[in-house]
Amino acid sequence: MTLKVLESYQKYFVPAIPRTPTNRYASIILLRETKSYAIFTTEGGEEQDVEEVSAGQSHSEKITRLVMFKRKQVAPERRTGKALLRQYGIFPYAIKDGKVVYGEEALREKDHYADCYLPEGLCTHCPDCLIYGYAAIEGEGARRARLMTDTCFSIRPYQIIQKQIKFNVIDEATHTSGTITEYDYTTPGVFLPAVETTVDLTADEFVYVLGNILRTSRYGKEGTRQGFVRNHILAIAFSDVELFANLEFTQAFYDALVEAGKNLVDDPLTLADLLEHAPSVIQKLTANLTGRLRLVTGDELEAILQDVRELNQDEERLRAFLKNLHEQAVSFAIKVAETEGRG
Ligand SMILES: [Zn+2]
């Protein structure tokens, strides 16, 4: 275990990557906040993704909300993690006499993994592949993700958090005004509550996932127009059942804010408002859980986040951490392949 701070939570993690589930859930409860204009569309879509849902859990009237699909949340975080693995020399790698070798030495091996990339070139042996999973790959089968999340929803109605912006493209050759294009944007300061639930991760794998969430700042439409999004971690929860859906989380915030006298159409909504209500919202949503729960917030949470930040600031420690994480993943993948007769 790399982070000493996690030693007291040891029983909530698995000591090694497991072959079969034991349902040790560690949920990262967070708020995603747009810090610039952003566009959330599915590929090729002209309009942003929205859904009509009940406003709250105790307010059944329908409102239209901006949605951020699961893939739009997780894919950028996977890319962040993989870029880090590349930066620290995990790719290229090869397996030589049952051991992992890197760099030039790896490239000399016939069967080396030069890279691992979404969606077609997944290597099936790295921490990303083993944590976030992959669809069927020839000769390798498929691997179920040990990280779950679902679509997240804005707290406020879509109509007041979006803006149509027109661009007048100046033709540089003729210096005349050319085509006018219009985009549908999400405005800055939009909050989307979310939970990412990890299942049966080792403590080090959990640190990798948490680091990816904290490092990732660009979400939305791929290409040049991605928006800056800040992830605020509200709590970490250890349990043996899943806690709540992202929609329920948004609806519970809606109820709490409206009951506190907030008008979610006319009044501003700030991070401070949400931080004030977060403890009671999470408490309410987890009060009737059919399972155990250990909630980590406040100073305890800050101690974990601080240790994750310090690890990420220290180049040498981070290099050793990623290498060890990768070696664990590879030796697990080799063992599985051997017992399944693919070794
Ligand atoms: Zn991989």
Question: pLDDT digits over 126-181, tens only?
Answer: 999 999 998 877 777 788 899 999 999 999 999 999 998 887 777 777 777 777 77
Question: CA-based Rg of the chain, rounded to a whole angstrom?
Answer: 22
Residue 287 in tokens = 């009060």
pLDDT greater than 60 at residue 224 = no
Task: Give which of 51, 234, 266 is closest to 160, Cα–Cα.
Answer: 266
Amino acid identity, residue 338?
Answer: E
User: With b meaning 16 or more CB within 10 Å and e meaning fewer, what string describes 125-155?
Assistant: bbbbbbbbebeeeeebeebeebbbbebbbbb
Q: In what order do the strands lie in the sheet with 50-54?
A: 50-54, 62-68, 152-153
Amino acid identity, residue 280?
Answer: S
Neighbouring residues of the ion ligand 1, judged by CB less than 5 Å: 116, 123, 126, 128-129
- The domain spans of the chain are 4-335
Centre of ligand 1 from the C-alpha of residue 17, in Å = 15
Share of the chain above pLDDT 90, in %: 80
Centre of ligand 1 from the C-alpha of residue 88, in Å = 14
Q: Region 272-287: what's the mean pLDDT?
A: 98
pTM above 0.85, yes or no: yes
Q: Region 199-208: what's the mean pLDDT?
A: 98
Q: Region 312-326: what's the mean pLDDT?
A: 97
Would you tell me the crossing angle of helices 70-87 and 315-339 to the nearest 10 degrees? 110
Q: Region 224-237: what's the mean pLDDT?
A: 90
Give pLDDT, residue 287: 96
Q: Output the DSSP codes for 174-226.
A: TTEEEEEEEEEEEPTT-EEEEEEEEES--HHHHHHHHHHHHH--EESSSSTTP
Give pLDDT, residue 219: 94
Centre of ligand 1 from the C-alpha of residue 23, in Å = 23
Question: pLDDT digits over 91-123, tens only?
Answer: 999 999 888 999 999 999 998 999 998 778 889
Centre of ligand 1 from the C-alpha of residue 308, in Å = 22
